[in-house]
Each structure stands twice: as C-alpha cells, then as structure tokens.
Amino acid sequence: MINSSLTNNSLKQLGDMLQAKKISSVELTQSFLDRIRQYNPSINAYISLDEAKTLTQAKAADIRIAAGSAVPLTGIPIAQKDIFCAQGWQTTCGSKMLANFIAPYDAHVITQFDGAGAVNLGKTNMDEFAMGSSNETSYFGSVKNPWSFDRVPGGSSGGSAAAVAARLCAAATGTDTGGSIRQPASLCGFTGLKPTYGVVSRYGMIAFASSLDQAGPMAKSAEDCALMMNVMAGFDERDSTSLNRDKEDYTRELYNSNPNKPLQGLKIGLPKEFFADGLDANVATVIENAIAEYKKLGAEIVEISLPNTGLSIPVYYVLAPAEASSNLSRYDGVRYGHRAAEYTDLMDMYCKSRAEGFGAEVKRRILIGTYVLSAGYYDAYYLKAQQIRRLIAQDFVEAFKQCDVIMGPAAPSTAFKAGEKVDDPVAMYLQDIYTISTNLAGLPGMSVPAGFASSDDGKSLPVGLQIIGNYFDEARMLNVAHQYQQVTDWHLRMPDLNAPEGLE
C-alpha cells in the first residue's frame, strides 16, 4: 500500500513525525522506494538505485533518532543529482564516459547530508555533464515531465525535478550553471534555489563550468529549501572558491513576519527586458497574477532595466564551453572513464575514447570552447565575453540600488514537447534567457510555482516565478517565496501520475 499523502508531506512534517516516532525512517524510506519502483520505470528520474545502501542509512537514522541526537533532516530520504560523487555509488554525470564509474569519495554536499543523517535514495538523471535544458542529452535516456509524459522536465537537473514533482523523494539536490535548477523547477512546478556562487562547496561535484556551477536545493516549498540549505551551505577548504562565512540559519526570516502585511515595504524590481518579446503570453499572465498577489502582501513594484540581458546567452556560450573544454580534458581514457576498445597509439586512444564516450551536445560544447580559446581568437571571444560579463553583473548592481528583489519568469514557456528542440541547439539555449545572467553575476535565484498556463495544444502546465536576490540574500528570498506560499497553494499541486496525459 503506497501512502501518497506520506510522500507528500513537507520536510518539517516528516521530521516531526520521525522525531515523535509516529513513523520510522525505514518505513518512510520504504514508502518512497515503493513509489519509485512503481513510477520510475515510466518517468526515468533515477539513474541508479541501491535499496540495500539506502535502507542501511535509514536504519542508522532510526538508531540516531532513538538516541535523541537527531537534527532536522535525520531520516529523511533525499535524491542526489548524479553529478555528486557519493562513495560506493555509481556516479555517471549522465554520460557514457562515466557509465562504470564508482565514486571513491564523497562530494562535500553528500558529506553534509550524511552528517545530518539524511538518507540517500538514489542518483538522479541529468543532461550529460549538465549540458542541456531538457534532460534529452542524458546517456541514460530522457526523463518524462510528471505533469505530461510527452513533455520534457527541463534540465539539466531533470531527474531531480521529475523526482520532486512526482514525489519520488522528499527533496532533491540539483546544480545550476545557467538555469539547471530554476528552469526545471519552473517546468515541473516546484521550488528550486540556486544560491550565491561560493555558498555551497563544489568539492566532488563533477565540474562543467567552474566559475558558474553552483549546487542548490529542489523541493516542494521555500521552507523545505531553507531546511536543505541549512545542510548544504557552508565553508569547505577543499573548494578554493568556497566562501568562508559564518554559518546561517536559512529559516530565520520565515516565521517572524507581520501576519497582515508580511512583505510590507519590500521593493520588487521588474526588469522590462524579462517581459519583452520571446515570453509566452500565457506565462506572462501567470507572472503578472503572482506580482498582483505580492502587492496584496504589502510589496511595492519598481520598474527596472537589465539592459544587457540579451547578451547573457552569447556570453554564456563562450565562457561555459571554454571552461568545459578545459574541465573535460581530464576524460582521456587513461585512469578512469571510457576507453575505446580498439586503438593504435596514444593519440588514437585519446581521440577514439573521447569520440565514443561523449554525446553530441557535449562534443559540440567542447569544440566551441576549444575554438574560442584557440590562438588568434582569444581576444575576440573569451576576453570580449568576460568584459560583457562585467556589464551584465553591473546591471544588477544598479538594479539593486532601486529594489530588494527582482522578479520575472524563470523560463520563457511551459514544458515543451520531447524532441521539439533536440535538433536546434540555439532554440534550446534560449530556454535559459532569464536565468543565465544571474549565474554570470554569481547572484542567487529561485523559481517558485506561480500557477498554470495553457500550452498550444491546451494542456495546463506549471509556471515558475523567478526571484533574484542580491549576494547572500537567500534568507530574505526564501521568506519572500514562503509568504507567497502562505497565501497560494500552487506549490501543493501534484501531478496525477496515473493520468498524466489527462489533465486538460
């Protein structure tokens, strides 16, 4: 008997039930594993599952709870994006290159969850090396959007997204280099946060574009994201870009607001560039309704401009591939990863191993990166992109002189159909038009469920409201999202997995 109301509970509710011993972690974990067994074959959210390992952690959590030393996430089953090395777990990054790789150590994020006594439910599907916006570049197959099985879940954290939306985990981790937490959160209808660059350690997180990659929570609500952040964030000397800041409680602003006008005086900036051509009209209506709700909560609206928004995609598709071409040079078939079965000399072994081990999109990005960094082109591409990156970051500095948070859509449309953009990389890249600029600036960004919009063929699909904050302003952003979730129930809506096509 699968208890879907149990798997639908918030992290706080689950934590309370565990600590009151109304349920054991083993029972809770088993209920998720049962649900995964029922629905994962059709959704394909997980690449690897290891029930024995998972249940061992659940048993240990029960012992810890019995001993009275539990902390908020002790005993709670969490899905981990398959970009995080977890010792003894197959860790593939969605690639044939790492299909047989068993991680010999833990990522910092995994260590943090283990330390909190959380249970690792399994490793979730993703675009290969996090390069994609639809989860269709995964070597392990595409992932279905739980709201409509003919749609993509977004990407690159598409498996984590589908797992959260379908309640195949209590919460999940993701990573966001250009929108890979926020765009799938928007397309699958849940809450996702990309923190300020440097807040969550990148140690043991397989590198794509190191100056942009940042891990964050993907969960059912802002409150759940805050509880996840309390575990994930923190200084780690093993990541040279990890920021040495005091530990914060990300839930601290959630529970002490004026109940009548909880966001009184909050200044919300609306960048005119986020509401221009390219935004689906039905998505725009949902976002406008969300803004109207914020006015009722006491917020004040300020028109702002981020004039270089349109340049964020060209800049990103120089910088991210450049960093990727360097990062992925480590996959040479020598010490780990795929090695060609047949080769002549060392050069042939490198070239064949990489040709076979990488998928088409990853190869394209390595080639772009190699080209823009090659002799004679560095100034025209890489240096130019870095200069425009500063202009984009400067836009936000100016904007935050006028407002406390910035709001707009997280993605230009609702979930598109599987296969629709596979052959058109540029159309796929435009999915991240509203998210990439915050990665370039290193700012925190969220996507929060704001309603549903009708697609061309009449399906009702989730829409995410993006909230962008100033550096290190995650606690305020989480409260801004939390207050909205006190007066709306979009975040509580669940797809009907037994009739995912029948929503219209």
Catalytic residues: 81, 156, 180
As a whole number of angstroms, the distance between CA 174 and CA 439 comes to 14
Residue type, 214: Q
Q: How far is the CB of 367 from other proteins (least distance, A)?
A: 5
Sequence length of the chain is 504
Shortest approach of other proteins to residue 358 CB, angstroms? 7
**CB of 104 or CB of 115, closer to other proteins:** 104
Least separation in angstroms between CB 105 and other proteins: 7
Three-class SS state of 126: coil
The answer to whether 361 touches 425, Cβ cutoff 8 Å, is yes
Q: Least distance in Å: CB of 382 to other proteins?
A: 9
Task: Give min distance, CB of 199 to other proteins, in A.
Answer: 10
Q: Which is nearer to other proteins, 102 or 292 (CB)?
A: 102
With a CB cutoff of 8 Å and minimum separation 6, the contacts of 82 are 47, 48, 91, 92, 93, 94, 123, 124, 125, 126, 159
Q: Which of 481, 22, 487 is CA-nearest to residue 229?
A: 481
**Between 156 and 191, CB nearer to other proteins:** 156
Cα–Cα separations (whole angstroms), residue 404 to 182, 447, 472: 20, 17, 12
Report the nearest approach of other proteins to the CB of residue 479 (Å). Answer: 24
The Cα 390–Cα 395 span in angstroms is 9
To which residue do tokens 């801004």 refer? 480
In the bound state with other proteins, the residue whose beta carbon lies nearer, of 148 and 309, is 309
Cβ proximity to other proteins: between 12 and 339 the closer is: 339
Give, for 462, the enclosing helix (H) or strand (E): strand 460-469
Helix then strand then coil, in percent of the chain rounded to 5, is 40, 15, 45
Q: How many CB atoms lie within 10 A of CB 146?
A: 28
C-alpha pair distances (Å), 29 with each of 32, 36, 162, 170: 5, 10, 18, 9
Closest to other proteins by CB, 149 or 371: 371
CA dihedral 114, 119, 121, 127 (to 10 degrees): -30
3-state SS class at 347:
helix
- Residue 75 or 198 with smaller CB distance to other proteins: 198
One-letter amino acid at 332 equals D
Q: How far is the CB of 456 from other proteins (least distance, A)?
A: 24
455 preceded by a cis bond (ω within 30 of 0): no
Instruction: Kindly give, in sequence order, each residue whose CB lies less than 8 Å from that of residue 194, ignoring residues fewer than 6 positions away.
Output: 176, 181, 182, 214, 216, 438, 439, 444, 445, 446
Taking each helix axis from N to C end, the angle separating 222-232 and 108-115, rounded to the nearest 10 degrees, works out to: 110
Nearest distance, CB of residue 94 and other proteins, angstroms: 17
Dist CA 142 CA 418 (whole Å): 8
Nearer to other proteins, 182 or 338 (CB): 338
